Amino acid sequence: MAETPPRQRDRGPRATGPVVLLPPTRAGQEERRFAVRPARVLLLLAATFIAGSVAAALLLLPILEARRAGVAAERDELAHRYEVLAARLEQLESDAAAQHTPDEEPATPPTAQAPTSPALRLAPPTDVDGVRIAVLRATGDVTLKGEALIIVQSPTKAIPMPGGVLLARAGKNGVFVDGVGTVASGTRVENRLGPIKIGDKSYPGALELHQDGDRLLLINELDLEKYLLGVVGAEVPAGWPLEAKKAQAVVARTYALMQRAQAEGPYHLEATTDDQVYSGTAVDSATRAAVTSTHGEILLQDGLLVSAWFHSACGGRTEDPADVWPDRPAHGNAVVTCGFCDTSPYASWTVDLSPAEIARGLTEAGHEVTEVTGMHIREDTASERVRRLEIETDAGMVAVTGQEFREMVGYMRVKSASFSVGVVGATFRLTGKGFGHGVGMCQHGALGMDKAGHAYREILTHYYPRARVEKIY
């Protein structure tokens, strides 16, 4: 009798939707099918995630709590140290005050002499938005470059410059820009992707185009700290050590705020030695470190801005500002013995001036002379600079100060007012020392102090004996 196959069990209707197929457990059987129910899978995944989160939280909570306790303990320790230091400072101030009568002024150091200039009384600013620098004056065309150069017309409207190039010159009724036409004096130009280039210099911030008679005046408006990068980089050689650069940064910051407070025109400072040299974005790493590490620090005396002038080399002793600018207000300056610039390139110098060269300088200064026959120093200042110089001419005797004589003949020819006069053949030989007006910080002296191991605050205290370095922002 033939064998009949076993009867297949009725599995009912096939499942609809996603299924999982598994191989049969025995030969001849159909594959096994299991319906996948998404809701149950999602529920399982959610339960797994919640369980994992709870477990992680239970593990992390003790760690976080320990960290919180450590931070709190560190905070309490710092607060305690602050209270101790504050109490110590209060005690020191009390001891210092007890050494003076109430009406007694702080004594000037033995090497210092009180200045005789009119008083400058400028409080430190409550806001430091930026500064405005006159960077260029030109009678011809000036080319500005920048990848995203625009002429700003309003807060929401601007004219993009094709190719990132703008060619401007002074016009009759404003400033003429090629491809745009005449724009108003004071029109603002920005580069949204970086600095604006003029020749070999680059300027951060914005530039304004001003008509200055028949010349084009460019004013760079930028953040004060970015401005200081360009000043310290230009005033101090890249190879100078850090503490000298930090001293320069504090002095330059104070000077900029002093000039900004007194400015009356469309800009605050010149980018030349008329104020302090500014080179734009050409900055070395040491300069950046000097400006950054002294961020917001300025010189104050009795809560007022110090007139923080500086110069290249004093030649041994700094000058009273009243002997350089008799009518210019000053605050916080003193005549001090330097003692640290003896090895500077300007420790001594000699220059021969012809009578014709001196006569030309007198003429350009408004004196109607054609011939110079003699020169005599009649009076020196306390720092041994020429206060009164008499020049014999065909029009009579002309008396000038040493600083006025430098201006007439040329600052690079007569490097300072600390000189003597002799006659060599047909010329007048000046033998002198130092470079610059001599007021305030001696830059080469700051270099010498840095090399001798002095920090920047000691350098500043040496040249501004009664001033304090304070952080205002």
**428 with 353: CB under 8 angstroms?**
yes
Short-list 198, 163, 166, 164, CA closest to 179 = 166
Residue 419 lies in a domain: yes
Residue 71 lies in a domain: no
Find all residues with CB under 8 Å of 106, minimum gap 6, and list them. 100, 466
How far apart (Å, rounded) are the C-alpha atoms in residues 369 and 389?
Answer: 16
Return the exposure string of 165-199: e unless at least 16 CB atoms fall within 10 Å of the residue's CB, then b. Answer: ebebbbbeebbbbeeeeebebebbbbbeeebbbbe
Q: What stretches of 370-472 adopt beta strand conformation (E)?
A: 372-380, 386-393, 396-400, 419-424, 427-432, 441-442, 468-471
Q: Name the more confident of 293 and 114.
A: 293
Would you state the pLDDT for residue 172? 87
- Three-state DSSP state, 267: coil
Residue 446 lies in a domain: yes
Percent pLDDT > 90 in the chain is: 73
Q: How many residues make up the chain in this entry?
A: 473
* Burial class for 472, CB neighbours closer than 10 Å (0-12, 13-18, 19+): middle
Give yes or no: residues 365 and 402 share one domain.
yes
pLDDT tens by residue, 170-228: 998 999 999 999 999 999 999 999 999 999 999 999 999 999 999 999 999 999 999 99
Give yes or no: residues 416 and 465 share one domain.
no
Cβ contacts of 72-78, under 8 Å, gap ≥ 24: none
**280 with 228: CB under 8 angstroms?**
no
Q: Is a pLDDT exceeding 60 seen at residue 232?
A: yes
Q: Is a pLDDT exceeding 50 seen at residue 104?
A: no
Give yes or no: residues 201 and 151 share one domain.
yes
- How many domains does the chain contain in total? 3
Q: Name the more confident of 222 and 67.
A: 222
Residue 90 lies in a domain: no
Q: Name the more confident of 21 and 334.
A: 334
Question: Which domain-ending residue is among 191, 206, 222?
Answer: 222
- Three-state DSSP state, 60: helix
Question: Which domain-ending residue is among 203, 222, 241?
Answer: 222
How far apart (Å, rounded) are the C-alpha atoms in residues 182 and 277?
Answer: 31
**117 with 333: CB under 8 angstroms?**
yes
Helix (H) or strand (E) holding 246: helix 242-262
Residue 51 lies in a domain: no
Q: Which of 32-41, 91-100, 104-113, 385-394 has the highest mean pLDDT?
A: 385-394
Residue 197 lies in a domain: yes
Distance (Å) of CA 51 to CA 38, 55, 425:
20, 6, 103
Tell me the residue range of the domain where 393 lies: 349-432
CA diameter of the chain: 158
Instruction: Identify the DSSP state of 3.
Output: P
Would the pTM of this model clear 0.85, i.e. be above it? no
Give yes or no: residues 229 and 311 share one domain.
yes
Percent pLDDT > 70 in the chain is: 85
Q: Is a pLDDT exceeding 90 seen at residue 66?
A: no
How far apart (Å, rounded) are the C-alpha atoms in residues 133 and 112?
Answer: 34
317: β partners: 337
Q: Is a pLDDT exceeding 60 seen at residue 108?
A: no
How far apart (Å, rounded) are the C-alpha atoms in residues 402 and 81?
Answer: 55
**For residue 290, what pLDDT band results from cuts at 50, 70 and 90?**
very high
Q: Is a pLDDT exceeding 60 seen at residue 6?
A: no
Give yes or no: residues 366 and 333 share one domain.
no
Residue 276 lies in a domain: yes
Question: Which domain-ending residue is among 169, 197, 222?
Answer: 222
Mean pLDDT score of the chain: 88
How much is the average pLDDT of 272-297? 95
Give yes or no: residues 314 and 384 share one domain.
no
Q: Is a pLDDT exceeding 60 seen at residue 387?
A: yes
Would you state the pLDDT for residue 101? 37
Q: Is a pLDDT exceeding 50 seen at residue 360?
A: yes
Give yes or no: residues 448 and 327 share one domain.
yes
Give yes or no: residues 189 and 332 share one domain.
no
Would you state the pLDDT for residue 36? 64
**For residue 40, what pLDDT band results from cuts at 50, 70 and 90?**
confident
Residue 191 lies in a domain: yes
Cβ contacts of 396-401, under 8 Å, gap ≥ 24: 398/362, 398/367, 398/369, 401/323
Give yes or no: residues 361 and 420 share one domain.
yes
How much is the average pLDDT of 32-51? 76
Q: Is a pLDDT exceeding 80 seen at residue 5?
A: no
Give yes or no: residues 313 and 230 share one domain.
yes
Would you state the pLDDT for residue 331? 95
How far apart (Å, rounded) are the C-alpha atoms in residues 408 and 402?
Answer: 10
**For residue 29, what pLDDT band results from cuts at 50, 70 and 90?**
confident
pLDDT tens by residue, 73-103: 777 677 666 666 666 665 555 555 444 333 4
Give yes or no: residues 424 and 465 share one domain.
no
β 131-138/269-270 pair status: parallel
How much is the average pLDDT of 355-368? 97
Give yes or no: residues 331 and 464 share one domain.
yes
How far apart (Å, rounded) are the C-alpha atoms in residues 390 and 374?
Answer: 8
